[in-house]
Structures are given as structure tokens and as C-alpha cells.
């Protein structure tokens, strides 16, 4: 009887300590003066986000409500949501030495595989040192002569470098030293594809093209379909 009561008391004490610890974790942003929506106990904001039809619009509404930097909880793990491009530049580039590692999943921890995107600092530097020269502008130009045209690459054309968008306003490939290693190659492929397409066809709106697209959100935000018509050039 005494042993049962002792075990029960120990279990209650452990559960109490566990719930107190969980509650204290949800004070992370409040103690630092970071705004954000109220989390659900144990789930944080994970359940709210993944039950939303379009989680990007939910994040956008929270950004409008709480500002360009606010806090969310993935379970009990605190996460910052940032849409301030100057702050992103500070993290990804200027203070990269303080934010050099990427978080990777529990499954990757159990595997010997360490892809470049989730490698730790030492392994990432080794991989980057080996792979980086392959994707340099000089090596990419050697792959095909079509990349050198139609304009002379040695001629200065100001409009070639004109841009109005902040360089960190669109992070399709990441930013800073840990940006995607194949970014230049991917952009080159897309530009060549568009060049060949527009050289031979005129792109016109399709019969079913609508102003609003039905979007799918998994890892990236993409439309379900885009209806266009290609007209052969004479």
C-alpha cells in the first residue's frame, strides 16, 4: 500500500513537473517581448497551421496583425517568423557565423547521409569546397556556347542589371553562404528554356485562364494549373 502511494505520488510529481516545464516553454516569446498568436497547449501552433486551407495566407494575416517579426511554436519549439528583408540579410549574410547551421529532421539524424542542405558546419565546408567550383559562372559558361549569347557578355548593358526588388525578398534558393549550390545552374536552365520557347512561340492567355488560381501548398506554393495558348511564330 505504501509503495503504491509512493509510486502514485512520484508519478503525479513527474507529470506536474512536465506540465510546468511545458508551460514555461510557452513563455519564451513573452519574456522577450516578441508578439505572436496564443499557442495551444502541447500542440503550439502546429495544429492551427496545418488545419488551415492555405497556411501562407494564415501566416500573412498574422504578419499584418503582429508585424514583420513574431513568434510561433512548433509543438513546444519556438520559431521566429520573419518578413523583414533587412533582418534576413543580417542573419543570412552579415552574421552568418552566428547562424551557420540548418535544422534537420530526426530521420536524417538516424541516417549516415548528410546532404549539403542539412550538413553540419564542418561537413558543409568540406562539401562546399568540393562542389562550389563546378557551379561557378566560368564553369557554367563552358557547358554550352548558347549561354554566351545573344548579347556580348563583355559589353556593359545597364538594363541587364536593373532590379527594383530587394535581393532577399524572394528566397527560392535561400541566401548567404548556405544558399542552394545549384542556384546559378537552375536559373540558367530556366532562362534557356524560356528563350527557346519565346523564340519559337507567342504566349497567349488560354480560354480557361482566370485571374485567381487554385493554389496548392505543401513544400512550395504553386497553382494547380495555368491555362495558356502557344502560337507558332512565322
pTM for the whole thing? 0.57
4-8, 29-33, 123-127, 173-177: range with highest mean pLDDT: 29-33
* Angle of CA points 166, 167, 172, to nearest 5°: 120
Structural domain boundaries in the chain: 1-83, 84-181
Q: What is the pLDDT of residue 6?
A: 78
DSSP tag of 38: P
Top-confidence range, 39-48, 170-179, 211-220, 221-230: 39-48
CB-CB contact of 37 with 72 (8 Å): yes
Q: Is residue 102 pLDDT above 60, yes or no?
A: yes
pLDDT digits (tens, 9 = 90+) for 121-145: 777 778 777 787 877 777 766 555 5
What pLDDT was estimated at residue 130? 79
Residues with Cβ within 8 Å of residue 202, at least 6 apart in sequence: 230, 231, 232, 233
Residue 200 has pLDDT above 80, yes or no: yes
pLDDT score, position 124: 77
Which of 4-8, 115-119, 225-229 shows the lowest per-residue confidence on average (mean pLDDT)?
Answer: 115-119
The rounded distance, in Å, linking the Cα atoms of 98 and 79 is 17
Amino acid at each position: 500500500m505504501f509503495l503504491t502511494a509512493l509510486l502514485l505520488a512520484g508519478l503525479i510529481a513527474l507529470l506536474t513537473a512536465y506540465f510546468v516545464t511545458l508551460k514555461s516553454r510557452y513563455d519564451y516569446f513573452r519574456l522577450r517581448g516578441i508578439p505572436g498568436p496564443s499557442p495551444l497547449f502541447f500542440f503550439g501552433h502546429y495544429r492551427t497551421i496545418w488545419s488551415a486551407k492555405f497556411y501562407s495566407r494564415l501566416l500573412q494575416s498574422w504578419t499584418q496583425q503582429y508585424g514583420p517579426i513574431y513568434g510561433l511554436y512548433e509543438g513546444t519549439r519556438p520559431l521566429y517568423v520573419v518578413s523583414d528583408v533587412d533582418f534576413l540579410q543580417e542573419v543570412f549574410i552579415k552574421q552568418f557565423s552566428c547562424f551557420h547551421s540548418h535544422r534537420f529532421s530526426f530521420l536524417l539524424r538516424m541516417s549516415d547521409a548528410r546532404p549539403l542542405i542539412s550538413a553540419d558546419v564542418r561537413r558543409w565546408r568540406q562539401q562546399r569546397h568540393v562542389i562550389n567550383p563546378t557551379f561557378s559562372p566560368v564553369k557554367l559558361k563552358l557547358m554550352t556556347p548558347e549561354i554566351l549569347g545573344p548579347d556580348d557578355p563583355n559589353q556593359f548593358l545597364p538594363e541587364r542589371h536593373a532590379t527594383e526588388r530587394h535581393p532577399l525578398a524572394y528566397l527560392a534558393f535561400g541566401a548567404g553562404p548556405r544558399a542552394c549550390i545549384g542556384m546559378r545552374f537552375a536559373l540558367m536552365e530556366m532562362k534557356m528554356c524560356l528563350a527557346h520557347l519565346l523564340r519559337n512561340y507567342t504566349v497567349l492567355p488560354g480560354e480557361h485562364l482566370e485571374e485567381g488560381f487554385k493554389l496548392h501548398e505543401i513544400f512550395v506554393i504553386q497553382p494547380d494549373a495555368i491555362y495558356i495558348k502557344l502560337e507558332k511564330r512565322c
